[in-house]
């Protein structure tokens, strides 16, 4: 998952055929190398340089293949790829958010990777990440980086408030943030009001937005109401930072945390590098990373990340070159280099080497992966964040009751999933 998470999916695009040809810039002739195009959606400032260097290493090791590198802003990439795949100009390889993979696969945009060189070492990857890259039992992506949500906290501020360990429950967090405010004058907790960040409160009550097996929308289930009520109570308690619903909310919260103006947030490892640039974390050891507090049914945090996927419209020569490229970019060596340089989490166990684990942000989040909840293999799943987020803001600001707001969110979800029943 990336900065300023985009939840919306253009569902209508799922019906577009992937019969178009690949971009002419990815061409070759019998006497020259095959040139494939890769759309990289990583952060252009903090991450892209590492991947450009890896592209050069790949080309050196594979003189018959050239890679046209294009950095595409993450917020634009989903719609841009949908449009390109339905006409012309789609890249041979895309760095796709895990939430996009099922929808693109359903639309016929992606080539299955089972039995190809790209999938030769899938046994070395975290098994739940491989499952998350499948659609209808076929593998459509190879996980390049992963992430999950945890509690980031300022150890120095916690210590000044007399707090000796991270909170284990939401009620403990409520008490801790009040203590921080009273003892230090700093806000104890800030929340980013986006749908993805609500999921731990649902998982903590053993529910999700939908039940795929039962074909039921569960956004308005009693368990979901309980989870959102827990969040609502947390944000209304002493020590909580005033809810920011502006377009700059994400950046404002991160700036406040990184500068020591708020003591704890719910966040993922993609922000490690930026946090360590902040004045409060010049000493990296000051960053605490802990499992998210538990609800009444336990802990739970969504698994995110990015898969490398291959465009189905490319010809055989480009498919084969793409498979080799994906295998190289997701190898243990490449993942180690990316993790060391960018602070991202590898997707395979053999990439968690000693140099990688020297980064406290990576070491902290690796410990949280075991409680991560894989994304459901539902093409419309990411679209469900939008109605949840819309109603959440109304609920926590007192404009709407929890049950009635979630009923409205479920009604909107029903438009996306007409064959599903509601709670």
Number of structural domains in the chain: 2
pLDDT string in tens for the chain (423-residue length):
443 434 343 333 433 333 333 443 445 445 579 999 999 999 998 899 999 999 999 999 999 999 999 999 998 999 999 999 988 789 999 999 999 999 999 999 999 999 999 999 999 999 889 999 999 999 999 999 999 999 999 999 999 999 999 999 999 999 999 999 999 999 999 999 999 999 999 999 999 999 999 999 999 999 999 999 999 999 999 999 999 999 899 999 999 999 999 999 999 998 988 899 999 999 999 999 999 999 999 989 999 999 999 999 999 999 999 999 999 999 999 999 999 999 899 999 999 999 999 999 999 999 898 888 988 889 999 899 999 999 999 999 899 999 999 999 999 999 999 999 998
Phi, psi of 321, deg, nearest 5: -65, -40
Do 113 and 33 lie in one domain? The reply is yes
pTM for the model stands at: 0.85
Residue 127: both structure tokens together = 């098994």
> What is the reported pLDDT for 272?
87
Residue 391: both structure tokens together = 């109603």
What's the CA gap between 51 and 175, in Å, rounded?
Answer: 43
Do 269 and 233 lie in one domain? The reply is yes
In Å, how far are 103, 176, 249 from 181, measured between CA atoms?
Answer: 44, 9, 21
Neighbours of 76 (CB within 10 A): 11
Do 315 and 354 lie in one domain? The reply is yes
What's the CA gap between 165 and 177, in Å, rounded?
Answer: 13
What's the CA gap between 191 and 256, in Å, rounded?
Answer: 11
Domain span holding position 47: 11-147+304-373
Do 206 and 289 lie in one domain? The reply is yes
Do 326 and 257 lie in one domain? The reply is no
- Measuring CA to CA, which residue among 27, 42, 28 is closest to residue 89? 27
Residue 161 lies in a domain: yes
**CA atoms in the 13 A half-sphere facing the CB of 411:** 8
Residue 1 lies in a domain: no
- Measuring CA to CA, which residue among 288, 302, 300 is closest to residue 166? 288
Angle at 342 between CA 339 and CA 348, to 5 degrees: 20
Residue 3 lies in a domain: no
Do 312 and 255 lie in one domain? The reply is no
Do 322 and 207 lie in one domain? The reply is no
Do 362 and 398 lie in one domain? The reply is no
DSSP string, 349-396: GGG--HHHHTSHHHHHHHTTGGGEEPPPS-TTGGGGHHHHHHHHHHHH
Check if the beta carbon of residue 38 is closer than 8 Å to that of residue 77.
no
Q: In 3-state terms, what secondary structure has residue 212?
A: coil
Do 189 and 280 lie in one domain? The reply is yes
Check if the beta carbon of residue 139 is closer than 8 Å to that of residue 102.
no
Residue 6 lies in a domain: no
What's the CA gap between 243 and 95, in Å, rounded?
Answer: 32
**CA atoms in the 13 A half-sphere facing the CB of 385:** 21
Do 348 and 270 lie in one domain? The reply is no
> What is the reported pLDDT for 1?
44
Residue 5 lies in a domain: no
Q: In 3-state terms, what secondary structure has residue 419?
A: coil
Residue 102: both structure tokens together = 């099922």
DSSP β-bridge partners for residue 226: none
> What is the reported pLDDT for 89?
80
- Measuring CA to CA, which residue among 84, 86, 76 is closest to residue 15? 86
In Å, how far are 51, 330, 346, 350, 365 from 357, measured between CA atoms?
Answer: 20, 18, 11, 12, 10
State the distance between the two ends of the chain, measured CA to CA, in whole angstroms: 29
Do 316 and 273 lie in one domain? The reply is no
Residue 398 lies in a domain: yes
Residue 213: both structure tokens together = 């097996």
Residue 2 lies in a domain: no
**392: domain CATH number?**
3.40.190.10
What single-letter DSSP state applies at residue 271? Answer: G
Picking from 373, 391, 406, the residue at the C-terminal end of a domain is: 373
Do 269 and 215 lie in one domain? The reply is yes
> What is the reported pLDDT for 14?
39
Residue 52 lies in a domain: yes
Check if the beta carbon of residue 420 is closer than 8 Å to that of residue 414.
yes
């Amino acid at each position: 998952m990336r900065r300023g998470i985009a939840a919306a999916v253009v569902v209508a695009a799922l019906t577009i055929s992937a019969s178009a040809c690949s971009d002419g810039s990815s061409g070759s002739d019998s006497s020259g190398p095959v040139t494939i195009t890769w759309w990289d959606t990583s952060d252009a400032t903090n991450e892209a340089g590492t991947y450009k260097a890896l592209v050069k290493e790949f080309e050196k090791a594979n003189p018959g293949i050239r890679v046209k590198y294009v950095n595409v802003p993450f917020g634009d990439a989903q719609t841009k790829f949908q449009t390109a795949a339905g006409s012309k100009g789609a890249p041979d390889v895309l760095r796709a958010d895990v939430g996009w993979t099922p929808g693109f696969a359903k639309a016929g945009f992606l080539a299955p990777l089972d039995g190809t060189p790209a999938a030769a070492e899938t046994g070395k990857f975290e098994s739940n990440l491989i499952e998350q890259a499948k659609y209808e039992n076929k593998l459509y992506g190879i996980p390049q980086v992963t992430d999950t949500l945890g509690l980031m906290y300022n150890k120095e501020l916690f210590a000044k408030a007399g707090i000796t360990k991270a909170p284990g429950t939401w009620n403990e967090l409520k008490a801790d943030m009040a203590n921080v405010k009273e003892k230090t004058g700093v806000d104890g907790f800030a929340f980013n009001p986006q749908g993805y960040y609500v999921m731990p409160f649902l998982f903590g009550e053993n529910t999700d937005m939908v039940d795929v097996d039962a074909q039921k929308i569960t956004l308005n289930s009693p368990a979901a109401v309980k989870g959102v009520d827990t969040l609502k109570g947390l944000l209304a308690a002493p020590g909580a930072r005033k809810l920011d619903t502006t377009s700059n909310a994400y950046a404002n919260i991160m700036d406040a945390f990184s500068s020591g103006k708020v003591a704890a947030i719910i966040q993922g490892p993609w922000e490690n590098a930026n946090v360590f640039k902040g004045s409060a974390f010049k000493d990296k050891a000051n960053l605490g990373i802990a499992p998210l507090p538990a609800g009444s049914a336990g802990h739970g945090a969504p698994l995110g990340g990015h898969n490398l996927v291959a465009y189905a419209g490319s010809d055989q020569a480009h498919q084969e070159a793409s498979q080799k490229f994906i295998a190289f970019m997701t190898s243990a060596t490449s993942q180690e280099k990316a993790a060391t340089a960018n602070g991202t989490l590898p997707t395979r166990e053999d990439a968690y080497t000693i140099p990688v684990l020297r980064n406290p942000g990576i070491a902290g989040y690796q410990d949280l992966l075991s409680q991560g909840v894989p994304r459901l293999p539902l093409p419309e799943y990411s679209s469900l964040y939008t109605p949840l987020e819309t109603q959440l803001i109304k609920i926590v600001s007192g404009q709407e009751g929890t049950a009635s707001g979630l009923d409205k969110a479920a009604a909107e979800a029903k438009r996306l999933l007409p064959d599903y029943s509601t709670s």
